[in-house]
Amino acid sequence: MSRGIYSEHERFALIWGARIAPTISTMIASMFAWAPFVTDMPIMPPFGLMVFLCWRFLHPTMWPIWVGLPLGLFDDLVSGHVIGAGMLSWTLMLMLFDWLEGRIVWRDWMFGWSIGVTTVTVYLIGAWMLTPIHPSIITLLPQILLAILLYPLVMHVCAALDNRRFRI
Amino acid sequence: MAPPSHRRPGFSRRAQYVLFSGYVVAVLGAITASLLVVAAQFDPRGFRAVQGVASDVASPFMSVGRVIARTFGATDDAIAHYLAAISTNDALKAELARARSRLIEARIIEAQNRELRALLQLQDQRPDVVAHGRLIGSTLSDSRRIATLSAGAQAGVRSGYPVRAANGLIGRVLNTGTYSSRVLLLSDASSVVPVRILRDGSPGFVTGNGDGTLDVRGLNAGARLFRRGDILVTSGTGGLYPPGIPVAIIIRSRGDEGTAAPIANPGAVDYVTVLGLFHPDKPADPVPPRSAIATGAAPVTPPQAAATP
């Protein structure tokens, strides 16, 4: 078997940086929903989805088109959404953004923020609608507001991680 | 004009196949996922086993996080308590004086009550305590209000069992894992608890609003039933919840409806107790076989036909 031009360590760093680090970071962000608090309203922004989207916007070809299925399922199980909601919506998002990719000519920071925030808001409202017996939509507002405010922070964390992911 | 896709794999036949099969998997997966979503609309209690396993996996993380949160929370509280020590002390002394006289009254009533019960030869129907546990987390990013309890099927917890804290009702078990279970809180929109007003005993229902408050409806339509400060306790109607557990206190009243706040705050309680299912027509003799109450489904007992003479 050909060993190629890379050493063992370099090959591991490549796989780690290209595949494992983004996946693990998304899963860890989903696991923020395991914070040990009992609250009256949903307050935790969907960090898993936010990290997933940030990786998508940083590197449009990084995620394979099917990766929303396992990552979305994990997020559904962790967050308590209806099982299948995340699988379906994350996959549809990837397809939608692939379709939109070349149609958007200019991109800047505000654009990344606004499209990310719009996607997260639509996702939260969709997940709320899929819940069989759901409370008034006002109960979603704190969560959506927090997601909008924290999205730039998630973008910064992802970008910092992106700079370091191949250096292990 | 639409530009070419950036996923264009070039001339490599292998790369083209990988890309194509990726799309096939994604589309099939999306169809499966939408079927799962539709299934959940028709059977919200499906996937119980999967969610039980998920809560088992989550519970160690939540337990560790809770220890950390409590350590920091405790120091916060200690400082706040120290600052408010004198005023709290005065208030507590005044309350103690009031409470002493009420205690004496309560003892007299208790003694009277015991005599009357002996006279009537009433059998106490005490619900069986199944397990104790902690609430270690909740659905923080979903609009349903479901808490994770640190006791599961191994401790005898089954779905449907009521859960209470020392001062009031918390909710009921939705589904169980081996070491943990998920508890549907009172404030969830799908939670319905039959209650009565402690003041006059008139019946009603409490449902959750999803924002920490509860919606109360009286069964006597049109009558102005609720007053601010009324305490609601479980009535035991229809089984499931044992009677006499404090549920909520009315904070707003409008006609035969009202808004109430739960008495037991699931975010603040330390330990909760899982009770066995309550059967209105339970025979007075010993505990029924476990298998009879462990079916997990909501009880199908007739609404208290036997209890009214």
DSSP line for B160-225: T-EEE-SSSEEEEEEEE-SS-EEEEETTSTT-EEEEEETTT--EEEEEE-SSS-EEEEESSTTS--
Residue A165 identity = R
pLDDT band at B2 (very low <50, low <70, confident <90, very high): low
Q: Is residue A69 part of a domain?
A: yes
- Chain B contact present for A40, CB below 8 A: yes
Could you report the per-residue pLDDT of B119-129, keeping only the tens digit for each?
776 666 666 88
At B74 the pLDDT is 59
Six-digit token string for B89: 């002390």
Answer yes or no: do A77 and B137 touch at CB < 8 A: no
The predicted structure's pLDDT at residue B59? 87
- Per-residue exposure over A119-147, b if at least 16 CB sit within 10 Å of its own CB, e if not: bbbebbebbbebbeebbeeebbebbbeeb
State residue B295's pLDDT score: 46
Q: How distant is the Cα of B19 from the closest Cα of chain A, in angstroms?
A: 8
The kind and range of the H/E element at B37 are helix B13-42
Mean per-residue pLDDT over chain B, rounded: 81
A50 close to B (CB below 8 A): no
Query: CA–CA separation, A75 vs A93, rounded Å?
Result: 15
pLDDT at residue B4 tops 80: no
What's the confidence (pLDDT) of residue B282? 52
Residue B304 has pLDDT above 70, yes or no: no
Report residue B19's pLDDT band, with 50, 70 and 90 as the boundaries.
Answer: confident
Q: Is B37 on the interface with A (CB under 8 A)?
A: yes
Output the CATH code of domain B129-281+288-293. 2.40.10.340
Per-residue pLDDT at B5 exceeds 60:
no
Query: Is there a contact between A38 and B266 if contact means CB atoms under 8 Å apart?
Result: yes
How many domains are contained in chain A? Answer: 1
- pLDDT for B233-245, tens place per residue? 998 888 889 888 9
Give pLDDT tens digits for B49-91. 788 888 888 888 888 888 887 777 655 566 777 778 888 899 9
Residue A50 has pLDDT above 90, yes or no: yes
State residue A69's pLDDT score. 94
Residues B183 and B172 sit within 8 Å (Cβ to Cβ): yes
pLDDT of residue B125: 60
Question: CA of A84: how far to CAs of A46, A142, B34, in Å?
Answer: 16, 24, 6
Residue B260 is encoded by which pair of tokens? Answer: 């109430």
Best interface-test mutation with B: which of A27, A38, A67 has the largest number of B CBs within 10 A? Answer: A38
- Residue B146: how many CB atoms within 10 A of its CB? 21
Each domain of chain B, given as residue ranges in start order, spans 129-281+288-293
| For residue B306, pLDDT beyond 60 | no
Out of B3, B22, B266, name the one closest to residue A64 (CB): B22
pLDDT in tens, A16-40: 888 899 999 999 999 998 888 888 8
Q: Which residues of A touch B23 (CB under 8 A)?
A: 65-66
Query: What pLDDT sits at residue B76?
Result: 57
Q: Provide the residue range defining the domain that includes A158.
A: 8-164
Taking CA atoms, B249 is separated from B196, B223, B261, in Å, by 11, 19, 5
Mind listing the pLDDT tens digit for each residue in B97-117?
Answer: 999 999 999 999 999 888 887
Query: pLDDT per residue over B37-59, tens digit each?
Result: 888 888 777 777 788 888 888 88
Identify the CA nearest to A153 among candidates A117, A126, A107, A122. Answer: A117
Q: Is residue A1 part of a domain?
A: no
CB contact A105 to B (< 8 Å): no
Q: Which of B31, B270, B4, B60 is nearest to B178 (CA)?
A: B60
Helix (H) or strand (E) run with residue B293 in it: helix B290-293
Q: What is the pLDDT of residue A3?
A: 61
Give residues 70 to 99 of B whose Cβ lies within 8 Å of A.
none
CA A45 to chain B, closest CA, distance in angstroms equals 6
CB contact under 8 A, A40 and B47: no
Whether B141 sits inside 8 A of A128 (CB atoms) is no
Residue at A140 is within a domain: yes
- CA of A132: how far to CAs of A76, A109, B54, in Å? 15, 37, 20
pLDDT at B169 over 90: yes
Does A157 map to a domain?
A: yes
CA B137 distance to own-chain centroid: 13
**Cα angle: B174, vertex B177, B183; to 5 degrees:** 30
The verdict on A2 touching B (C-beta cutoff 8 Å) is: no
Chain B residues with CB-CB distance to A84 below 8 A: 32-37, 39-40
Average pLDDT over residues A133-139: 85
Interfacial B residues in 216-255 facing A (CB < 8 Å): none
**Chain A: nearest CA to B176, how far in angstroms?**
14
Residue A154 lies in a domain: yes
Mean pLDDT, residues B290-298 taken together: 46
Q: Which among A40, A65, A132 is the nearest to B44, CB-wise?
A: A132
State how far residue A19 is from chain B, nearest Cα, in angstroms.
Answer: 16
Across the interface, whether the CB atoms of B54 and A35 are under 8 A apart is answered no
Q: What is the Cα Rg of chain A in Å?
A: 17
For residue B308, the model assigns a pLDDT of: 39
H runs (alpha helix) in chain A: 8-15, 21-30, 47-58, 68-79, 85-100, 109-130, 141-164
pLDDT of residue B7: 66
Provide the pLDDT confidence category of residue B198 given band limits of 50, 70 and 90.
confident
Does residue A2 lie within any of the structural domains? no
